Structure 1
Amino acid sequence: MQDALVERLSSPVPRYTSYPTAPHFDEGIGPDAYAGWLSALGPRNRLSLYAHIPYCDRLCWFCACHTKHTLRYEPVEAYLKGLHAEIAAVGARVSQAAPVTALHFGGGSPTLVRPNDMRLLKSCLDHNFAFSPDAEISVEMDPNDLDEARHDALAAIGMTRASLGIQDFDPTVQKAINRIQTFEQTRGVVEAARERGVRSVNCDVLYGLPHQTAKTLAETVRAVLSLRPDRIALFGYAHVPWMKKHQTMIDEKALPGIVERFAQMTMAGEMLVAAGYEAIGIDHFALPADKLAAAARNGTLRRNFQGYTDDRADALIGLGASAIGQLPQGYLQNMPATGEYLRRVEEGGLAVVRGYALTEEDRARAFVIERIMCDFGFSFADLAARHPAFAGAIRAEARAFVAGDRDGLAHIEGERFCLTPAGWPFARTVAAVFDAHLASGRGRHSLAV
């Protein structure tokens, strides 16, 4: 019975790191709209910055990020010059009094940036934005890139959170995804970061990889637990070869089936909870003292393009090729192609090529979907207070879903729509019920578990 339920409820749906999701962005939102939206941010608006480094010195076949492989540093140098130009162009349009409360370097592999270039990049950001003294600065790290000089540079820019991609330590799995990385390398990076005062360490683990079994995943989880990271992200491998051609290098016959994926996810999650971690949403775990766990407990957990976060900023500004931003008016995405991105920013302009202006109904449904993804439910009263024009219709949709729910995924408790524990693993599937754009058929998505 459980296996049949898993197969039926695991149809592809969005990950809901935004609503509407990226396939619904269009070219009607461009540089002029972006300039206006930036100028509307006031001195009291808290800002979060995302800086994208779209290069890797090796290409991991499982990766679904916007990145490209290079064995030469010259393209990275040219790109950084353009990134400096965009930072200046965006900073000139934002109130210099608006505090930056968070900065995230993502990729690609930000840690392939040479030490002095990383210092210069942070200096450029400091010159164009006003950082709060307690701003969180997180960096996605590839242990294969790191040396003492790079560790020192990351300490110099004030990194507060190190985020390490691990995936799986099993050699057969690593070979199948072209991601060779030993436990000893990983432990060395964690120790080096902590020795330099980094307050928080995050580790990413994947399930559903080729040749991965419950046994190999359990061994990886035990190894990760020995590092005692503050946060652990347990992601399901998203096999999207129609979007990421390098994933065709992965043998699809070696991928575990949906039922096995679900078993791997459940087993790993139970191991993490047994080790003292608190479950956060659908795929994160944190030690009780971590701020993400506190946010989950007090109802302030958020979800954005980086996943679950305790970031309370009013605007997320995306910097770099393909970077996505979220401002009060809606979403924006930069030109993904690095050559065209560089041309646009070096001419003194902004690189936005598409986006989405939110309607009031979008905001109401975004609230509902985010709360389902973060809290496994939402309050009818909160929805009515925030979005009275659409509260009645969405309440009716929630009641209709519960009335027709033969799987026991959700129920109504007073003024709340709540997923049951049986429904928690299928939060994406339940959230999709409230997605008014999904039926348009734009975009293809990964499996729901």
Structure 2
Amino acid sequence: MSERSLLAKYSGAVPRYTSYPTAPHFHEGVNCDIYAQWLGELSERDTLSLYVHIPYCDRLCWFCACHTKHTLKYEPISNYLKPLFKEIATVGARVSKTAKVTALHFGGGSPTMLTPEDMIAIMNAFRAAFTFAADAEISVEMDPNDLDEARYDGLAAIGMTRASLGVQDFDPKVQKTINRLQTFEQTKGVADAVRARGVHSVNCDILYGLPFQTQETLRATVRDIISLSPDRIALFGYAHVPWMKKHQTLIPEHALPNVDERYAQMKMAAAMLLEAGYEAIGIDHFAKPDDRLAIAARTGKLRRNFQGYTDDQATALIGFGASSIGQLPQGYVQNMVATGEYERMANQDGLTVVRGIALTDDDRMRAHVIERIMCDFAFDFAPLRERFPALADTVIAEARHFAASNPDALCRVDPLGFRLTERGQALARSVAAVFDAYLGNGKGRHSIAV
């Protein structure tokens, strides 16, 4: 089958598999009481990764699919912090003080809208409620349009170790169409400023498949990004989901590249990054060979969670703030999405979970298989049987059947396990979907696989 025919066949809508089961299958049966129980069951041996969501932006980027609100005033952010502090204290009181925090990520929205004083206050609240490892990773998503010298100093004061810069595309026409105006000079200024303050890792996000984007505009953007020498680069395909994010209706659909052009953009950008010395990580990340993400990929320790690919080995991910999702050994939880209702619930009881899912052993096994496909493009049979002795043969039989019946050579089975071929790796999401026991029940709509 030709590459074009292959794309047409397998580029349908499937999950990004930053979790399994995926968020559309969360339900209201998992609530604050269950969450409180799960927190109390975390032991002193557990390690924790924390995520805090700041759901505000001073401009709304039309491509964005995050839970965020536009505000030009600081008052809504100030009002949000009091309930956030209560949630932090309430959750911290339910978790063993000897469980170490190995990572904290500030996401949004635009966390860099916070004043330096409020950023430091949030960090102090976390340190008062939890025990941090000496080498804990502190990462922050940054909007270059928000930043000034005082904020840079505030970020240094909280001990930021990794800066994540959203770029998308530097072409002015593309930027205007997605309402994301940001010059290369601004972006370079941020990278220089955080490095001058001791930040050891800089990440840049690039999008392909944007309106009016071409291989030429993307080539220029990638060339500029490479000149900044970021430690990590995420190369994401724009997810056009206007049924879920109404502001995406402001993007003219006629200006979006088709599947063939999206794929060509992705292949071209990936080739440029590889030529520049970056190593490919999973389906959409690249890292310098000495970066922790690249080392994790080479040593079989690459993970995948709601933040994408990570080297984070924590046994529990705890989310704070409106819409945040947590991943505990017992299952997934999600906080109230609506900011006002989140604030009411947090002020009242300190916990705001409204939905989630408790994991079965079959869920855990399939989550492991899907994560390994997304991270390693393979999974081995012997470790799967050792970890899930009563269930592994079911998935192994599914893997053998798919490999034997798939005429497009996306995968193969060898004596050790299941492997994606080179042509199958670009379609890893579609292959992973073969092992998704929930996908056919009609819940959820997803972005295209390429």
TM-score when normalising by structure 1: 1.00
Q: For the residues of structure 1 that align with 2:315 and 2:365, how far apart are their CA atoms?
A: 17
Q: For the residues of structure 2 that align with 1:441 and 1:390, how far apart are their CA atoms?
A: 25
Partner of 1:77: 78
Per the TM alignment, residue 444 of structure 1 is displaced from its structure 2 partner at its CA by 0.0
1:192-341 matches, cutoff 5 A: 192-341=193-342
Per the TM alignment, residue 3 of structure 1 is displaced from its structure 2 partner at its CA by 1.0
Cα pair 2:410 2:420 within 8 Å, conserved: yes
Q: For the residues of structure 1 that align with 2:295 and 2:307, how far apart are their CA atoms?
A: 18
Per the TM alignment, residue 348 of structure 1 is displaced from its structure 2 partner at its CA by 2.6
**Residue 78 of structure 2 corresponds to residue 94 of structure 1:** no
Alpha-carbon displacement from aligned partner over 1:266-291 (angstroms, at most 9, x marks no partner):
11001000000000000000000000
Q: State the SS of the aligned residue for 1:389.
A: coil
Q: For the residues of structure 2 that align with 1:125 and 1:393, how far apart are their CA atoms?
A: 43
Partner of 2:430: 429
Alpha-carbon displacement from aligned partner over 1:73-131 (angstroms, at most 9, x marks no partner):
00000001111110011011001111000000000000000110101110011100101
Per the TM alignment, residue 382 of structure 1 is displaced from its structure 2 partner at its CA by 1.1
Per the TM alignment, residue 8 of structure 1 is displaced from its structure 2 partner at its CA by 1.2
Cα pair 2:345 2:351 within 8 Å, conserved: yes
Letter matched to residue 48 of structure 1: S
Per the TM alignment, residue 211 of structure 1 is displaced from its structure 2 partner at its CA by 0.2
Per the TM alignment, residue 388 of structure 1 is displaced from its structure 2 partner at its CA by 1.3
Partner of 2:379: 378
Q: For the residues of structure 2 that align with 1:253 and 1:274, how far apart are their CA atoms?
A: 33
Per the TM alignment, residue 421 of structure 1 is displaced from its structure 2 partner at its CA by 0.6
Partner of 2:396: 395
1:15-164 matches, cutoff 5 A: 15-164=16-165
Superposed CA RMSD in Å reads: 0.5
Per the TM alignment, residue 371 of structure 1 is displaced from its structure 2 partner at its CA by 0.1
Q: For the residues of structure 2 that align with 1:205 and 1:14, how far apart are their CA atoms?
A: 20
Per the TM alignment, residue 366 of structure 1 is displaced from its structure 2 partner at its CA by 0.4
Per the TM alignment, residue 44 of structure 1 is displaced from its structure 2 partner at its CA by 1.6
Q: For the residues of structure 2 that align with 1:44 and 1:414, how far apart are their CA atoms?
A: 36
Q: For the residues of structure 2 that align with 1:150 and 1:416, how far apart are their CA atoms?
A: 50
Q: For the residues of structure 1 that align with 2:346 and 2:310, how far apart are their CA atoms?
A: 29
Letter matched to residue 317 of structure 1: I
Q: State the SS of the aligned residue for 2:309.
A: strand
Q: State the SS of the aligned residue for 2:19.
A: coil
Q: State the SS of the aligned residue for 2:16.
A: coil
Report the count of equivalent residues: 449
TM-score when normalising by structure 2: 0.99
Partner of 2:368: 367
Deviates more, 1:200-209 or 1:407-416: 407-416
Q: State the SS of the aligned residue for 2:144.
A: coil
Per the TM alignment, residue 349 of structure 1 is displaced from its structure 2 partner at its CA by 3.1
1:169-180 matches, cutoff 5 A: 169-180=170-181
Q: For the residues of structure 1 that align with 2:43 and 2:398, how far apart are their CA atoms?
A: 37
Partner of 2:9: 8
Q: State the SS of the aligned residue for 2:107.
A: strand
Letter matched to residue 335 of structure 1: M
Cα pair 2:410 2:424 within 8 Å, conserved: yes
Letter matched to residue 224 of structure 1: I
Structure 2 unmatched ranges of 5 or more: none
Identity across matched positions, percent? 68
Per the TM alignment, residue 347 of structure 1 is displaced from its structure 2 partner at its CA by 0.8
Q: State the SS of the aligned residue for 1:176.
A: helix
Structure 1 unmatched ranges of 5 or more: none
Q: For the residues of structure 2 that align with 1:243 and 1:85, how far apart are their CA atoms?
A: 30
Cα pair 1:31 1:349 within 8 Å, conserved: no
Q: State the SS of the aligned residue for 1:318.
A: strand
Partner of 1:445: 446
